[in-house]
Chain A
Amino acid sequence: MTEPLLTPDAGGLYCRAGNFWIDPLRAVPRSVITHAHADHARSGAAEVVTAKPGIPVLTHRIGEPDDLTGLDYGESIEMGDTRVTLFPAGHILGSATVRIESEHGTWGVSGDFKRAPDPTCEAFAPYPCDVWVSECTFGLPVYRWPSPREVVADILSWWGACKAADRPAVLFCYALGKAQRVLSELAAAGVTETVWLHGAMIPLTECYRQQGIALPPTLPATEADKGEKFKGQLVLAPPSASGSPWMRRFPKHSAGFVSGWMRIRGNRRRRGYDRGFVLSDHADWPDLVQTAADMQARKVITIHGNGESLVRHLKDQGLEAESWNLRQTLAPAKSESESA
């Protein structure tokens, strides 16, 4: 047996043949970054390879690396003894999966991905590979997404009810990706009213707008007139703003949260949201299983999330599968165990 092409290291994956890391969380000499979310993109690499459409958002997040290479989707680059090609992951603007061709075989590596339609980014593109390294954030069959169209209709009807009741409609969603996807879906549904944004979303939303993605007009909530009560207005905010003093400006608001986690009632109730909207930027269970098939891999390795169930399910179907815990590679060296 030859050694695997990739091994967990530095919170990401290390490719010895190409001498580079994918999505490392520690400083490394050379990295391939799949997308700009903080659990994938950290500053510190001297050389960075990433997909071109993701560059504005990525550099906003981690600054300009010394040596930045932008690849078009489908464009290849030689790295050590490997050839690396990026393909659209359908996760957020500029997100990519990484195909590595080498004498150890061809591996496909997802950062995060989804198959559901998203007006803000190119659709996921499958390709054949020997080993498919799949994210597994929602690795149980209870996670099955309704169609985005239905969910957007739900959001609009909730906003309508808030208007009728003169209450602010505060919609929590991740600041990068989800917020812009929701805005873009609203624009497609004909919304032309101004949507108020939390400060953390402003520059990212501008990045999207500058790349030609149609969004309704937006304004920072802090720029509203003094005494504005936001009655019937839609406000987008990151989950971290929930319960913060910033929220005081929206008296009597109704709180919604847009996330795949909202598929489970207890998740919503525990966090105290009035409404949960099941719209995710990750693959649901049926798409995790389908994608494993579409990649035609003989082996699937799960990363990010609890992959045990997916692994067992794929094995039941006759595939090779295993689960890697990347974050364990970040844990400090084990201290002596307390138990006897």
Chain B
Amino acid sequence: MKDFAALFDRLDQTTATNAKVAALVDYFKAAPPEDAAWAVYFLTGRRLKRLVNTRELREWTAGASGLALWLIEESYEHVGDLAETMHLLLPPAQLKPDLSRLSEIIETAIQPLAKMEDDERQEQVTQLWQEFDGTERFLINKLLTGGFRVGVSKRLVTRALAEVAGVDSSLVAHRLMGKGTPNADFYQRLIADQADVDFEQSTPYPFFLASPLEQELEHLGDAQDWQAEWKWDGIRAQLIRRAGQTWIWSRGEERMDGRFPELETAAEALPDGTVLDGEIMAWRDGAPLPFSVLQTRIGRKKPGKVTLEKAPVVLLAYDCLEFGGEDLRECPLEARMDALEQALPENNARLQPSAQVRFSDWNELPAQRDRSRELGVEGLMLKRKSSPYRVGRKRGDWWKWKVEPYTFDGVMIYAQPGHGRRSNLFTDYTFAVHDGEQLVPVAKAYSGLTQKEIDRLDRWIRNNTKERFGPVRSVEPMQVFELAFEGISHSPRHKSGIALRFPRIHRWREDLTRKDADSLNDLKKLLGSAGSKSDSE
């Protein structure tokens, strides 16, 4: 545990990428494989299933520290991170030399909590609190509460493992896509030096992500070298057909088995050893349904008949990563498009090729992009015909060229503190627009301000708080912000009756006052426009 805590400290004490990778490499080289496996597990963002609920943890912290529960709550509100709050409030531990191992603590002290009675669990957790202090205790609390972020991306962990293994980082990235149990064997496979380690059939390939286009089209070179597609506003997914089975993975590397039964059925028509990359879309009569319709499918692990009927989905495939069991990622896009054509069954409504946008000259494209709203898409994708399928967000071959977002002016009415790095700063805001005499909330937004603006706004919020509801504060409705969003739809679940898609802050309009904010009617007018169709259509 000490080594893992030391790794955490090293990662936490630098912002330099190379220093982080060096710290990871040092750790992986020295750590026993069963510990390294858990370290990879947590550093790549996986988490233990919640073993203790946070209410219990707060109560036990109150018990162990002798502080009133309300003081625990206020401290948490101030710190913004429960694991850290508990660590700071608990009395200093009776320190003994820490000889324990990370894997041992997880497997013999933390995971067994799942099967214990309440008193027994409290005793076990309290004992851990008495035995550990400093970074170790903070980290144990992190494991107990689930979340674990240290400013290390999966990409950095991949880089470090590749360096330890002496193999290409894209190979490690692929190996990491699997969801093995974190044990010595799992780790050995990650850092094995050969490319042909046996994989689970379900393992997807790491996704290739596009970057926003920030240059003139002409600067991309010859238009003939590029292919254009619509940029769909759905769920990016990989569909795997191997050994007579089907798996569907989201870009967030979640398996979505059972959620899209119609796609799984359709996939039976694919030849074995096929992996498609594309977008899951809610779709009817050859056109996309609004994202809010697709949303009704996202949370459902086993959608019922009504849901399937109301929100039918298709996969719009735009890449073929494996065909005939062969990894095609190094082949040029053109060749992969041929493979896609061969792989897709003919006239299968559920599995369709994503339509390409034909053009022969760059100056034809802006007009095409302007049709985006009307067609219900986010804009255009530009892909270099000769490009391989890369890993992660590598600039140069895939560009997304989105339409300009909608904007409106809203007034801030609530604020609450963020988490992690932004804890104890008010960074999460709720915005409202006029509805007759009243203000009605329409959007929450977290991003878009500079650190300086956040600091200034934080002070303003503290000085202009009207009421407190737990961590949330209502503030004088005075500050107006220009907000951008991608789409709008009817929503019976919201008081305003509308839901905005991906709202974020564009600008703090200090030149405007409350009366300058837009009205709900202004927003509702957009409901009529194409591309933001209502659910009922």
Contact = CB atoms under 8 A, between A and B. Distances in A.
Contacts of A269: 12, 151, 421
A309 B68 CA distance: 11
Contact of B420 (A141, A266, A274, A340): A266
A270 B454 CA distance: 11
Give the bracket for the number of chain B residues in contact with chain A.
20 to 34
B88 A270 contact: no
Contacts of B437: 340
A141 to B, nearest CB: 6
Given A142-B88, A274-B14, A309 B425 contact: no
B424 A267 contact: yes
Interface string A196-210: 000000000000000
A266 B421 contact: yes
B478 A141 contact: no
Nearest to A274: B13
Contacts of B85: 142
B14 A140 contact: no
Given A140-B75, A144-B88, A338-B514, A264 B424 contact: yes
A74 interface: no
Contacts of A267: 424
A266 B89 contact: no
Given A140-B78, A142-B89, A263-B88, A313 B68 contact: yes
B71 A309 contact: yes
Given A266-B423, A338-B478, A141 B15 contact: no
A131 B13 CA distance: 44
Most B CB within 10 A of own CB, among A140, A142, A263, A313: A142
B84 A264 contact: yes
Contacts of B13: 274-275
Interface string A138-154: 00111010000000000
A339 B75 contact: no
Most B CB within 10 A of own CB, among A264, A275, A316, A339: A264
B423 A141 contact: no
Nearest to A271: B451
A234 to B, nearest CB: 17
Contacts, number: 66
B350 to A, nearest CB: 46
Nearest to B451: A270
Contacts of A313: 68, 71
A171 B423 CA distance: 24
A172 to B, nearest CB: 15
Interface residues of A, number: 22
B74 interface: yes
B521 interface: no
A339 B89 contact: no
Nearest to B425: A270
Contacts of A339: 476-477, 514
B70 interface: yes
A44 to B, nearest CB: 25
B75 A266 contact: no
A16 interface: no
Interface string B7-32: 00000111100000000000000000
Interface string B53-95: 0000000000001011011001100111100110011000000
A142 B79 contact: yes
A226 interface: no
A141 B75 contact: yes
Nearest to B134: A146
Most B CB within 10 A of own CB, among A266, A272, A275: A266
Contacts of A141: 65, 67, 71, 75, 88-89
Most A CB within 10 A of own CB, among B85, B88, B89: B88
B422 interface: yes
Interface string A147-177: 0000000000000000000000000000000
Interface in A118-148: 140-142, 144
B84 A338 contact: no
A269 B81 CA distance: 13
Contacts of A337: 476
Interface in A305-325: 309, 312-313, 316
B68 A142 contact: no
A275 B79 CA distance: 18
A248 interface: no
Contact of B422 (A144, A264, A270, A275): A270
B342 interface: no
A309 B468 CA distance: 14
20 contacts: A141-B65, A264-B78, A264-B424, A265-B81, A265-B84, A266-B80, A266-B84, A266-B420, A266-B425, A269-B421, A270-B421, A270-B422, A272-B15, A309-B71, A313-B68, A313-B71, A338-B476, A338-B477, A339-B476, A339-B477
Question: What 3 pairs across the A-B complex have the smallest Cβ distances?
Answer: A142-B88, A266-B423, A142-B75
Interface of A: 140-142, 144, 263-267, 269-270, 272, 274-275, 309, 312-313, 316, 337-340
Given A266-B80, A309-B74, 5 more contacts: A141-B65, A141-B89, A264-B88, A266-B423, A266-B425
